[in-house]
Structure 1
Amino acid sequence: MLFLHGNPTWSYLWRSLLSTLSADFRCIAPDLPGLGLSPRPAGPQRGVGCLERQLICLDGFFHHLTGSVGLPARRWTLVVHDWGGLIGIAWAQRHPGVVARLVVLNSIAFPWPAGHRLPVHLRWIRDSASIAALAQVGNVFPRAAVRLGVVRGLGEAERMAYLLPFADRQNRRTVVEFIRSIPRGDDDPVWRLFKAPDTESQIARLPMFIGWGMRDRLFTPVVLEEWVRRFPQARVHRYRDAAHLVTEDAAGALDRHVRAFLLGA
């Protein structure tokens, strides 16, 4: 199983799921380049360049796993959240047959559906270089994510764990680059990285679990319904009292539901 987080999180996001699944499955949860405890890439990137860099690094990592480590090259389960969805599904389309199952948590892999509107603070950072610079200095987005991305509230130690990789200003650059790469309309160059999956695509034929925090301010229920429309075969669980960090708010129930899906229950 390969777990791909998003922005501004890191592999710490998966700790509850990993605890539940690791007895039955080989679980691998890397930090995306520039986030978490991974090395910071040289030189700024945004838009297509930012995403292409992620895909190139994921290719290298997977070739290391299948070559040097000796793991199988097919029959992987891909677990994605936030940017991990766009990156992971674009990568899976480039490597048909590698991914056998998908677990999707509050993410996107197609142009924003009609009726969706990006939260204003993300639009400010995305569209203004000066506001983006201020956001990096103040570590604004990670600090907001650990407060506004949950319903139940995180403990102080949990908040500090999420914020730890971004304590240094220079380590926050990729956080802002991801925000500035958020696609605008249907014709945004980012969408050209892959064909948005639909009911006819090879992705749509995969067994799929969708677990959704219904109180997410970014990936709202409108986005979930577009997933359901495109993938009517998916097993869907809606967590009413969970927000963007659904692995936090729905930990326990989500873990059981994902495990049952993987074991065919």
Structure 2
Amino acid sequence: MGASSKLSISYRFVEHAQYLGGFIDKVIPEGKVILVIQDWGSALGFDWAFRHQDRVAGLVFMEFIRPFPTWDDAAQGKAQETFRAFRDEATGRKLIIEQNAFIDVMLDRGLVRKLTTEEKAYYAKPYENPAHREPLFRWPNEIPIEGHPPDVYERASSYHEWLLETQLPKLFFWAVSGRIVSAEKAQWYLDHLKNVKGVFVGKGTHFLQETILIA
């Protein structure tokens, strides 16, 4: 993804997890790490942490992916309608591959401020070629919703159960209104996670990194 080479792979969760594991093995082969993670980075990071619990010193996370038992838990209103469309093979490919909807539409929807021309160009550059947009199409189809895809849902359920039980130090950033972690859901996690500190960053939707930078 991003500026990485665009490979002829499926870009499914399991492949991303394999590449992440290989990267960590090469760059940080031993010792403790602190993972700072968001969105699919959270799913990959939690999954790696669950499988390498002796390597983790702490977790920093925001707008994170969990197993969603229902569509209503995953998204509401227009957002649910959009992501249902993304998960349709024909419609999703037209929207994301042909029309570049993730960069041209969804990126802005996930922000509480307008990106500068330079910032938007930086986000868009890796996906100027439609042939390079496969990962943008694949990710919405990997979201673990109502048991599908089964393998991703199973792995997300495993790391989520562990996350609720582990005593590892956790730093949890959240915002109002949030996109996949609402204020209500954030409070639930603050009440149920162990050894967690919550940091409220104010108004924000999905890309809280951009919110925190201007907070």
Tell me the matched-pair count: 207
Among 42, 45, 53, the residue aligned to 2:8? 42
Q: Distance in 2 between matches of 1:80 and 1:101?
A: 11
Cα 1:146–1:111 shift into 2, 3 Å: closer
Matched, 1:62 2:24: yes
Match of 1:10 in 2: none
Q: CA deviation at 1:211?
A: 0.6
Match of 2:57 in 1: 100
Q: Distance in 2 between matches of 1:199 and 1:64?
A: 26
Among 179, 200, 209, the residue aligned to 2:140? 179
Among 94, 108, 113, the residue aligned to 1:147? 108
Decide whether the 8 Å contact of 1:198 with 1:230 is kept in 2.
no
Q: Distance in 2 between matches of 1:200 and 1:156?
A: 40
Which secondary structure state, in structure 2, belongs to the residue aligned with residue 250 of structure 1?
A: helix
The superposition leaves residues 88-127 of structure 1 with CA deviations (integer Å, 9 ceiling, x where unpaired) of: 111111112111111001112343589524221011111x
TM-score, scaled relative to structure 1: 0.71
Q: Distance in 2 between matches of 1:209 and 1:110?
A: 20
Q: Distance in 2 between matches of 1:198 and 1:94?
A: 10
Match of 1:245 in 2: 207
Which secondary structure state, in structure 1, belongs to the residue aligned with residue 92 of structure 2?
A: helix
Match of 2:153 in 1: 191
Cα 1:166–1:159 shift into 2, 3 Å: same
Q: Distance in 1 between matches of 2:64 and 2:121?
A: 24
Cα 1:167–1:111 shift into 2, 3 Å: same
Matched, 1:125 2:86: yes
Among 33, 58, 61, the residue aligned to 1:76? 33
TM-score, scaled relative to structure 2: 0.86
Which secondary structure state, in structure 2, belongs to the residue aligned with residue 123 of structure 1?
A: helix
Q: CA deviation at 1:180?
A: 1.1
Read off the aligned partner of 1:140 and give its amino acid letter. Answer: A
Cα RMSD of the aligned pairs, angstroms, is 2.2
Q: Distance in 1 between matches of 2:128 and 2:148?
A: 36
Match of 2:94 in 1: 134
Read off the aligned partner of 1:95 and give its amino acid letter. Answer: H
The superposition leaves residues 185-205 of structure 1 with CA deviations (integer Å, 9 ceiling, x where unpaired) of: 15751121251235763xx21
Among 167, 173, 176, the residue aligned to 2:128? 167
Read off the aligned partner of 2:34 and give its amino acid letter. Answer: T
Which secondary structure state, in structure 2, belongs to the residue aligned with residue 161 of structure 1?
A: helix
Read off the aligned partner of 2:13 and give its amino acid letter. Answer: L
Moved over 6 A (4+): none
Which secondary structure state, in structure 1, belongs to the residue aligned with residue 53 of structure 2?
A: coil
Read off the aligned partner of 1:230 and give its amino acid letter. Answer: H
The superposition leaves residues 66-102 of structure 1 with CA deviations (integer Å, 9 ceiling, x where unpaired) of: 35xxxxx122100001011111111111112111111
Q: Distance in 1 between matches of 2:6 and 2:204?
A: 31
Q: Distance in 2 between matches of 1:166 and 1:187?
A: 27
Q: Distance in 1 between matches of 2:106 and 2:148?
A: 28
Decide whether the 8 Å contact of 1:113 with 1:226 is kept in 2.
no
Decide whether the 8 Å contact of 1:199 with 1:230 is kept in 2.
no
